[in-house]
Structure 1
Amino acid sequence: MKQTPERILLPVSPVFIAVSLFVAFLLNLQPWGHWVGVPDFVALVLVFWGIHQPRRVGIGIAFCMGLLMDVNDATLLGENALAYTLLSYFAITLHRRVLWFPLKKQVWYILFLLLSSQLVQMLVQFIISQRTSSWFYLLDSCIGALLWPVVTAILLAPQRRSVNTDLDSSL
């Protein structure tokens, strides 16, 4: 098995973090965002930043993003906020462990985190309105976990250093 060398990443820009969360929010606002099988992009981006930048994106940002999603979805105020807060807490708690594994094995941790977030939402909906969702509702988390390598590649791209580090090569 060929091992690729670890790269040292550049520091992440707070503006890039904000833009990525805004784009994820815009993706969730789309009409197809409520179809079965479309992942929760805000949750996916919150997990990514909770794992890769736990000091910059924490529980407070997750709570605010959850409130924005509650207002957008016209759900019980605090339902998404609770789910995103717990999701962010567990992502921050597991961040060192997740980063030890290669990307293909990280998918299982991400699947666990996204499923637990959706199960919290299902539990809140059941307690409040005795409404149950279909098990197909959990397909969103599975597809979100499968998108983890793509999301990682996109969100880490601005932080990667160039491979050619020889400054004298242009002479």
Structure 2
Amino acid sequence: MDKPQRYSLIWITILVALFLQIMPLPQVVASWRPDWVLLVLAYWTLALPHRVGIFTAFVVGLLLDVLLGATLGVRSLALSVVIYLVALQYQKLRHFSWVQQVSILAGLSLASHLLVFWAEYLHSGVSLSWEYLRPVVTTPLLWPWVFWLLRRIRRHYKVK
């Protein structure tokens, strides 16, 4: 696989995450949907901070806002802030154990959801419920598997 195709793998995984983020789910489990986009962007920012960063998070956030029919820029802001924090500390985060990474991802997911809530509250006056924060539980629980899968893809196709 040549270089341009290798780099397109990053965007393919981001598109898969966007698809998983908007895929219809039964009402019972829909509120527990993990933040797939955050997981994938966090991985690529940790693995290749020179390729995926704040600008990528901003663009993907705009795409997600359009796909969800949400206020434009809300998820862009949240993802940009969270990915900025990951990019700022990527060298330290790489050396943390998976338990520490899960804990940090839980905090980042909480920050992302609270930023989205804050922006939505300012825009339309929504109220906060525990149901809104359920992805903060499921997102970090999937981190070890998403990390393992994306790492295998990156190493197999030699994406650098």
Is structure 2 residue 61 aligned with structure 1 residue 90? no
One-letter code of the match for 1:89? Y
Distance 2:56 2:127 in 1: 28
Aligned residue in 2 for 1:73:
68
Which residue among 13, 16, 21 is the counterpart of 2:14? 21
> 2:148 matched to which residue of 1?
153
**CA deviation after TM superposition for structure 1 residue 158, in Å:** 2.7
State the Cα RMSD in Å: 1.8
What amino acid is aligned across from residue 43 of structure 2 in structure 1? F
**2:115 counterpart SS class:** helix
Deviation, structure 1 residue 151: 0.2
What is the percent sequence identity of the aligned residues? 32
- Asked if structure 2 preserves the Cα contact closer than 8 Å seen for 1:125 and 1:132, the reply is no
TM-score (norm 2): 0.87
Matched, 1:40 2:35: yes
Task: Work out whether 1:112 is the aligned partner of 2:112.
Answer: no
Whole-Å separation in 1 of the counterparts to 2:112 and 2:45: 14
Which consecutive aligned stretches of 4+ in structure 1 deviate over 6 angstroms post-superposition? none
- Distance change in 2, residues 1:88/1:23 (3 Å): same
Give 1:20's aligned amino acid.
T
Amino acid at match of 2:49: P
**Bigger helix fraction:** 2
Cα deviation per residue 1:47-100 (whole Å; 9 max; x = unaligned)?
A: 111122111001111111111111111111111111111111111112112111
Distance 1:68 1:104, change over 3 A: same
The alignment's TM-score, normalised by the length of structure 1, stands at 0.82
The SS at the match of 2:51 is: coil
CA distance in 1, matches of 2:16, 2:38: 12
SS of 2:44 mapped into structure 1: helix
Question: Against the structure 1 CA distance between its residues 25 and 114, is the aligned structure 2 distance closer, same or farther, given a 3 Å change threshold?
Answer: same
Q: Quick check: which has more Rg, 1 or 2?
A: 1
- Whether the 8 Å contact between 2:21 and 2:33 is mirrored in structure 1 is no
> How many pairs were matched up?
150
Change (3 A) 1:101 1:40: same
* Structure 1: unaligned runs, 5 residues or longer: 1-12, 162-171
Conserved? CA contact 2:106–2:140, under 8 Å: yes
How far the C-alpha of 1:33 sits from its partner, in A, is: 9.0
SS in 1 for 2:25: helix
Which residue of the other structure, out of 97, 120, 131, is the alignment partner of 1:125? 120
